[in-house]
């Protein structure tokens, strides 16, 4: 979806009025942060020390959001009002400042994301940046909601976590609800759809014939005939809800499979001694993000050659004969690496040694 970012400002009764709508972008001279910085500098020159900031955004660049915070922090007081949507990076601003929202505002938090490309060194560097950014967002949400970082992790562990205004208020993300609903524009609907919002509202137009208009819009959005009955509408809504639940279940199963495959890939790499156990978490995250690329990286890593493979058959036979009477204690004391190799390559013999040692 193409961004139609708009940032405007005015002054009313010595209070700055700043409006930010659409995606928080990062394009040189027209970047979100550079525009906000210039606005704040102009307000300060006019002697303005407070600002009311309206934001209606699906998020965007985490770097730009941080710079917007830095610009706004030059003012003595900043209060935020959320329009139809505050998602992703936009919610970091919500976590920073006192925030009001309309009764039909929607919110979404999730772990920050990045796209990466390059060799192992570059990918690991990008991963470190992502880990740091995730920790920063987790800390911000925990502070605003007065929750532990573990509780924030539980909220977003399965992906996008959506909240109504009422849920955001109950969790402590926002501070006040404006009882009247926000007017939902076509632009807001496009942003909600692009974010995968679970509730896509109807356009709020003129108030006359509101009930009739809402019903017509509902029927049209459901793809029903104009003369659809209440029973048909209810049946269609229930069917859509069931499909949405099935889609969520399929998504959860796909995520679980992705995690299982990534873990199997990384465990095999450790077993093959291509990576160390200390590197497991790093490669696990990489594999879940891009399995094929991580598999290619691991495949390119050298496999240490076992000492036994360098021995000729006669030498290996002598070693095996010498170890024929070894107990589990002997292996632990004299050659623990050989014991670990036996567990993988000769599990029956490994089990026999353990049974003899433990007497079962």
Per-block mean pLDDT, blocks of 10 residues, the chain (360 long): 73 93 68 82 94 94 91 95 94 97 95 84 86 94 95 92 94 93 82 80 52 64 80 81 80 83 88 85 84 86 64 72 85 80 81 78
Please check whether residues 19 and 119 belong to one and the same domain: yes
C-alpha 151/C-alpha 147 separation (Å) is 6
In a domain, 219, yes or no: no
Give me the pLDDT at residue 328, please: 84
- Supply 40's token pair: 């704040």
Assigned domain for 51 exists: yes
Domain region containing 58: 6-204
Same domain, 260 and 158: no
Catalytic-residue membership of 110: yes
Helix (H, G, I), strand (E, B) or coil at 10: strand
CATH number of domain containing 57: 3.90.226.10
Q: Is residue 262 part of a domain?
A: yes
pLDDT at site 319 = 76
Q: Which long-range contacts (CB under 8 A, 24 or more apart) does 298-304 make?
A: 298/265, 298/269, 298/274, 301/269, 301/274, 301/275, 302/274, 303/272, 303/273, 303/274, 304/273
Q: Is 151 exposed, middle or buried (0-12, 13-18, 19+ CB in 10 A)?
A: middle
Of 204, 238, 257, the one marking the end of a domain is 204
Planar angle of CA 99, 100, 102, nearest 5 degrees: 145
pLDDT for the residue numbered 186: 80
CA atoms within 13 A on the CB side of 74: 17
Contacts of 19 (CB under 8 A, 6+ apart): 6, 7, 8, 9, 53, 54, 55
Query: Which pLDDT value is given to residue 311?
Result: 59
| Beta carbons of 142 and 97 less than 8 angstroms apart | no
If asked whether residues 187 and 249 sit together in one domain, one would say no
Identify the pLDDT of residue 170. Answer: 94
**Which segments of the chain are extended strands (E)?**
6-12, 15-21, 50-57, 77-87, 99-102, 106-109, 161-164, 176-178
> Is the domain of 296 the same as that of 324?
no
Q: Active-site residue among 88, 100, 105, 188? A: 88
Q: Is residue 221 part of a domain?
A: no
pLDDT of residue 209: 44
Q: Which of 170, 204, 238 is the last residue of a domain?
A: 204
pLDDT at 206: 43
Close Cβ partners of 357 (under 8 Å, ≥ 6 residues apart)? 327, 328, 329
Q: Which residues of 59-96 are buried (b: 16+ CB within 10 A; e: fewer)?
A: bbbbebbebbbebbeebeebebbbbbbbbbbbbbbbbb
Strand duo 15-21 + 6-12: pairing = antiparallel
Asked if residue 187 and residue 38 are part of one domain, the reply reads: yes
Select which of 32, 57, 110, 188 is catalytic. 110
- Domain assignment present for residue 300? The answer is yes
pLDDT of residue 212: 44
125 and 257 share a domain? no
Question: Whose CA is closest to 268, among 306, 227, 301, 237?
Answer: 301
Q: Note whether residue 1 is domain-resident.
A: no
Residue 336 falls within a domain, yes or no? yes
Question: Does 183 share its domain with 137?
Answer: yes
> From the CB of residue 223, how many other CB atoms can be counted at a distance below 10 Å?
9
Q: Are residues 122 and 230 in the same domain?
A: no
- 188, 285: one domain: no
Are the C-beta atoms of residues 35 and 71 closer than 8 Å to each other?
no
Residues 169 and 268 in one domain: no
Please tell me whether residues 83 and 195 are part of one structural domain: yes
Residue 215 in any domain: the answer is no
**32 catalytic residue (yes or no):** no
Q: pTM of the predicted model, to two decimals?
A: 0.56
Rounded Cα–Cα distance for residues 107 and 165 (Å): 7
Domain boundary residue among 144, 172, 204? 204
* Domain count within the chain: 3
Residues contacting 5, CB < 8 A, separation 6+: 20, 21, 22, 23, 24, 25, 30, 32
Q: Could you tell me which of 20, 3, 31, 9 has the C-alpha nearest to residue 56?
A: 20
Residues 186 and 284 in one domain: no
pLDDT of residue 253: 82
């Amino acid at each position: 979806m193409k961004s139609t970012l708009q940032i405007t400002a005015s002054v009313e009764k010595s209070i700055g009025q700043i409006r930010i709508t659409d995606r928080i972008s990062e394009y040189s001279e027209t970047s979100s942060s550079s525009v906000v910085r210039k606005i704040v500098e102009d307000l300060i020159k006019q002697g303005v020390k407070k600002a009311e900031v309206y934001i209606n955004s699906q998020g965007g660049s985490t770097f730009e959001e941080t710079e917007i915070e830095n610009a706004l922090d030059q003012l003595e007081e900043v209060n935020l009002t959320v329009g139809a949507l505050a998602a992703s990076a936009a919610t970091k601003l919500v976590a920073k400042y006192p925030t009001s929202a309309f009764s039909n505002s929607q919110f979404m938090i999730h772990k920050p994301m990045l796209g990466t490309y390059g060799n192992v060194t570059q990918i690991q560097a990008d991963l470190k940046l992502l880990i740091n950014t995730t920790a920063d967002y987790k800390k911000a949400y925990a502070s605003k909601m007065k929750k532990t970082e573990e509780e924030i992790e539980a909220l977003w562990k399965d992906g996008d976590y959506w909240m109504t205004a009422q849920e955001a208020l109950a969790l402590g993300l926002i501070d006040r609800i404006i009882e009247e609903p926000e007017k939902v524009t076509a632009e807001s609907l496009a942003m909600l759809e692009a974010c995968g919002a679970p509730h896509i509202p109807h356009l709020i137009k003129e108030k006359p014939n509101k009930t009739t208009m809402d019903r017509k819009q509902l029927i049209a959005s459901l793809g029903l005939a104009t003369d659809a009955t209440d029973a048909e509408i209810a049946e269609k809504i229930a069917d859509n809800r069931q499909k949405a639940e099935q889609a969520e279940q399929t998504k959860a199963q796909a995520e679980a499979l992705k995690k299982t495959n990534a873990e199997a890939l990384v465990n095999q790499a450790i077993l093959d001694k291509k990576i160390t156990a200390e590197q497991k978490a790093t490669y696990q995250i990489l594999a879940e993000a891009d399995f094929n690329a991580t598999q290619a990286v691991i495949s390119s890593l050298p496999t240490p050659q076992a000492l036994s493979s360098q021995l000729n058959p006669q030498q290996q036979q002598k070693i095996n004969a010498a170890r024929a009477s070894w107990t589990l204690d002997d292996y632990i004391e004299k050659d623990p690496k050989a014991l670990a190799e036996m567990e993988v390559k000769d599990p029956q013999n490994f089990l026999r040694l353990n049974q003899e040692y433990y007497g079962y």
